[in-house]
Amino acid sequence: MSELPVSTSQTEGRARVIVEGVEPEIDGGRFPAKRSVGETVHVEADIFTDGHDSISAILLFKHKSETAWQEAAMKPVVNDRWSAEFAVQQLGRYSYTVHAWVDHWVTWRRDLEKRIKAETDAPLDYLIGADLIDAAAERAGGLAVLAHNAKNLRDQLNPAAMREIALAPALNELMLRYPDRRFATKYDRTLEIVVDPVQARFSAWYEFFPRSAAAEAGQHGTFADCEARLPYVADMGFDVVYFPPIHPIGFQFRKGKNNTTTAEPGDVGSPWAIGAAEGGHKSILAELGTLEQFRSLVKKAADLGLQIALDIAFQAAPDHPYVKEHANWFKKRPDGTIQYAENPPKKYQDIYPFDFESEDWTGMWEELKSVFEFWIEQGIRIFRVDNPHTKAFPFWEWCISEIKAKTPEALFLSEAFTRPKVMYRLAKVGFSQSYTYFPWRNAKWEIVEYLTELTQTKVAEFFRPSQWTNTPDILTEFLQSGMRSAFMIRYLLAATLGANYGIYGPAFELLEGRPVRKGSEEYLDSEKYQLRHWNLDSPDSLRELIKLVNRIRRENPALQSDRGLQFHPIQNEQLLCFTKRTADASNVIFVAINLDPYWVQSGFVELPLDVLKLDENAPYQAHDLLTGASYRWQGRRNYIELNPASLPAHIIRLQRYS
């Protein structure tokens, strides 16, 4: 007999079950998947063996703080695919893996049922079962009830009695409780899930510039002005208020109004040109107020049910203290000057990027991490990170992991309008949410294709999209008409397609659509370079629509996740129709949106009533949550007509008549 290969032990050779194709599994387990508190993790795997023996399999899982594994029995689905699930109730990281084994008891019982049906069962069959039961009794510490059943089978009672004993549900339950796992196959890796607060999955963001929050035109806003603005934001139903950088702004090469390269006296510069003699990333612009006043603002926001998100932009103005104290953190050109930021032909002379190939990279990493830690100490838990794709991936993986180990409720929004693989990598290394290409997806086929990718593929396991209508950098061509209908369309798309969405206001709700020049996505008189004053009481404001939609989102769980999204056919390319539903279909929301801001559009939508758990042969209620109107629908095909001049969408709750 030839010797076994050195790498194969006798026990491993008897582990006959194959476990592969485990999902979710991100890049072979290199990165964790994502969930929020209260969600369920549905795990699947391909599990099979040689021959015809039956298999048992379990999903093992535990929170990182726990030592003992919990178990959930896996069930076969189809074609050797097995599944199980577990709920995540704590912030932090969970581990999970899969074990499977040939189950001789299940095999014996299955075959015995067949023999009994064919009336070919013999006394020897029951002796085999008795041996299996005795072995289980030993594993159970001599459990008397098992030993008693084994004895009865050995006593060779009458056939009817032995059949009753062997197939008793109570006996089967005990045997499954004490299986023979000696030769179990253990999946060759332990996978992880990062569990974030619910706000990682479901949130509505509102961005405004603190310096433009003053009550009077021409005045520089303060944190006190921001406090006065908070009830306005809370009343609209937002839960995250996002501020652009609040740090001192550099004077050297300061940009003027509309991004001119020469600043005039009184020009306030770009908040993203961070740092001046008075401080950098851990300091506050004096015109806004003090650190104590900022803490008061954070508390006031919390009292209103709001969280403040801060912009973290890892770059420095030429007069940032870092430039003088840590010159080796920046790249120098051959003439000895520091390389400013460029995206040819664009030049950003007021910004120096960090050099992530610096010899002092470890010192720089520690200092940048301490920026997050400083603001966490001030009560901040949500960060919007500017251009993270221009910083090293290993830094983000280390930094976010370090932060979340101590502050697991911390959330990070990635502002990375770049290539898909780069955006996805940032999500994998730790970012909680990400901006998307949504602002530029206007045609029906574009929206369907893109949102299907984000919500119905493996991408959904690690990438949480945040759909933004606009940003201070992005005024899309669709919005530049300034038409109320265009703004309503984009808002309704963002707030219903995405469980996470955001708007940059008050520019958005006040229908600001003026570009700095034709073909540009920059705003005319952009707040990035100057103070603006907004008339929040304008009769044209979308404030009431936003308030209504945010209330609808809060009241309907189907809109609080991206996983229940399904698009539906309608023979009109200007009408987008989809449903969102909870896993049990107890809450089903149907949305129809007219993508044409100019003309009335109509058509017949087809709904999969079986999936939505509605009776095709009975009428059901379609209650429009935007208007309060109710319709009596029946069957799969129903008529839709939407006028963009009034309201370009339906948000309908579908339910049976009680």
Active site residues: 386, 415
Whether the bond into 345 is cis, omega within 30 of 0: yes
Cβ within 8 Å of residue 274, ≥6 positions away: 245, 247, 248, 249, 250, 280, 281, 313, 315, 316, 317, 320
> What are the backbone dihedrals phi and psi of residue 469, each rounded to the nearest 5 degrees, phi first?
-75, -35
CA atoms within 13 A on the CB side of 266: 4
CA atoms within 13 A on the CB side of 376: 17
Cα separation, 319 vs 340, in Å, equals: 12
Q: Would you state the structure tokens that stand for residue 257, as one six-digit string?
A: 């109004």
Q: Would you state the structure tokens that stand for residue 381, as one six-digit string?
A: 């838990």
Which helix (H) or strand (E) segment holds residue 21: the answer is strand 18-23
- Pick from 278, 228, 223: nearest CA to 246: 223
Q: 252: burial class by Cβ within 10 Å (0-12, 13-18, 19+)?
A: middle
Residue 299's beta-bridge partner residues? Answer: none
Size of the chain in residues? 658
CB 232 within 8 A of CB 269: no
**E strands present in 250-393:** 307-312, 315-316, 341-343, 346-348, 352-353, 382-386
- Return the axis-axis angle of helices 144-154 and 169-177, rounded to nearest 10°: 120
Cα separation, 446 vs 244, in Å, equals: 30
Cα separation, 603 vs 620, in Å, equals: 19
Cα separation, 235 vs 222, in Å, equals: 21
